[in-house]
């Protein structure tokens, strides 16, 4: 199944969007590494859903708008995107930084959502359970800590260097720092409003996540009413990459059950 790539202007920001498949809309919000390519899990999901993968403002092929100051701005931006595309019954899936954005969106207005899936989501703080400070890691360390299977990290690192890729990585890192530098990767006010989420919510986590430890998944489950938690064994921070078949099955089964 082919994927279409376009630039759409939303809230005054030229935004790079990949889109493929048909069916109910599924919007995937990426993590701090961006969304440079259409990955295998996206392709598999596109067999059942209309998969929409925007690059956040400030990342990759999207512009960096003057209005971008915090994750709440991105939450409002994606509410605008949903309206701009006329989407209803959206299955919103967010990973890491994207999970934080998805949670912030849902506490503001989940009326256009059918389901919410938070995968290794940042955004909250669990006292006594430190996260890894990824800003303090070298590029190689930052890649290797993402996955348990280091052969996957080897492949991620074995990408030819180019000026364009270097500039994209720097752009992504700068925007991530702007959004998550202080406090590190969470909003002190988010946890107290997660009870506002009223749509079926699935929380996915890798058992061996060294970036955002598994305890954060349990914390999200406790804060989002009626949410379900699934842990992937022998898996790090990127379950959609490290366990793509299990990830897709978990997401599709959850959406199918929520649609009954």
Q: What is the rounded average pLDDT of the residues 95-124?
A: 98
Whether 117 shows a pLDDT value over 80: the answer reads yes
Q: What is the rounded average pLDDT of the residues 193-211?
A: 98
Instruction: Please give the DSSP secondary-structure letter assigned to residue 112.
Output: T
Percent of the chain exceeding pLDDT 70 equals 100
* Six token digits for residue 41: 């899990």
> Per-residue confidence at 1, pLDDT binned at 50, 70, 90?
low
Give CA angle at 170 (164, 176), nearest 5°: 135
Q: What is the rounded average pLDDT of the residues 21-37?
A: 97
Please give the Cα distance from 146 to 32 (Å, whole number).
Answer: 11
Instruction: Please give the DSSP secondary-structure letter assigned to residue 246.
Output: H
Please give the Cα distance from 176 to 34 (Å, whole number).
Answer: 10
Among the ranges given (152-156, 158-162, 193-197, 244-248), the one the predictor scored with the smallest mean pLDDT: 158-162
Count the alpha carbons within 13 Å of 78 in the hemisphere toward its beta carbon: 35
Query: CA-based Rg of the chain, rounded to a whole angstrom?
Result: 17
Q: How far from 109 is each of 76, 101, 259, CA to CA, in Å?
A: 9, 12, 20
Instruction: Please give the DSSP secondary-structure letter assigned to residue 17.
Output: E
Give CA angle at 195 (239, 84), nearest 5°: 70
* Six token digits for residue 180: 């998550």
Q: What is the pLDDT of residues 39-88, one digit of tens each?
A: 999 999 999 999 999 999 999 999 999 999 999 999 999 999 999 999 99
Percent of the chain exceeding pLDDT 90 equals 97
Q: Give me the pLDDT at residue 260, please.
A: 80
Q: What is the rounded average pLDDT of the residues 231-255?
A: 98
The chain-wide mean pLDDT, for the chain, equals 97
Give CA angle at 187 (117, 64), nearest 5°: 80
Whether 160 shows a pLDDT value over 90: the answer reads no
Strand ranges (DSSP E) for the chain?
A: 3-10, 13-20, 24-29, 49-54, 90-95, 113-119, 201-206, 228-232
Whether 171 shows a pLDDT value over 90: the answer reads yes
Q: What is the rounded average pLDDT of the residues 139-151?
A: 96
Q: What is the rounded average pLDDT of the residues 180-205?
A: 97
Whether 159 shows a pLDDT value over 90: the answer reads no
Q: Residue 244 CB: number of other CB atoms within 10 A?
A: 18
Q: What is the rounded average pLDDT of the residues 29-36?
A: 96
* Six token digits for residue 223: 């804060």
Q: What is the rounded average pLDDT of the residues 189-199?
A: 98
> Per-residue confidence at 2, pLDDT binned at 50, 70, 90?
confident
Q: Give me the pLDDT at residue 161, please.
A: 85
Q: How far from 206 is each of 18, 63, 229, 258, CA to CA, in Å?
A: 26, 32, 11, 23
Q: CATH for 3-258?
A: 3.40.50.1820
Q: Give me the pLDDT at residue 259, please.
A: 85
The residue whose two tokens read 């074995």 is: 158
Please give the Cα distance from 95 to 127 (Å, whole number).
Answer: 22
Q: What is the pTM of this model?
A: 0.97
Q: What is the rounded average pLDDT of the residues 141-170?
A: 94
Q: What is the rounded average pLDDT of the residues 25-47?
A: 97
- With contact defined as beta carbons under 8 Å apart, do 80 and 55 qualify? no
């Amino acid at each position: 199944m082919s994927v279409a790539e376009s630039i759409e202007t939303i809230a005054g920001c030229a935004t790079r969007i990949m889109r493929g498949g048909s069916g109910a809309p599924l919007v995937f919000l990426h993590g701090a590494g961006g969304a440079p390519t259409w990955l295998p899990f996206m392709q598999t999901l596109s067999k059942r859903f209309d998969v929409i993968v925007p690059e956040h403002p400030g990342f990759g092929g999207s512009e960096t708008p003057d209005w971008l100051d915090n994750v709440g701005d991105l939450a409002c931006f994606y509410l605008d995107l949903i309206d701009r595309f006329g989407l209803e019954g959206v299955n919103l899936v967010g990973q890491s930084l994207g999970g934080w954005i998805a949670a912030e969106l849902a506490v503001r207005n989940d009326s256009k959502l059918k389901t919410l899936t938070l995968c290794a989501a940042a955004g909250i703080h669990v006292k006594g359970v430190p996260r890894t400070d990824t800003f303090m890691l070298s590029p190689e360390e930052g890649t290797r800590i993402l996955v348990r299977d280091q052969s996957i990290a080897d492949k991620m690192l074995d990408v030819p260097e180019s000026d364009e890729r270097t500039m994209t990585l720097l752009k992504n890192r700068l925007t991530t720092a702007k959004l998550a530098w202080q406090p590190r990767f969470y909003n002190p006010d988010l946890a107290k409003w997660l009870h506002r989420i009223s749509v079926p919510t699935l929380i996915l986590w890798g058992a061996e996540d060294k970036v955002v430890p598994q305890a954060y998944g349990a914390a999200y489950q406790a804060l989002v009413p009626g949410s379900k938690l699934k842990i992937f064994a022998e898996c790090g921070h990127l379950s959609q990459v490290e366990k793509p078949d299990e990830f897709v099955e978990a997401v599709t089964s959850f959406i199918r059950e929520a649609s009954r």
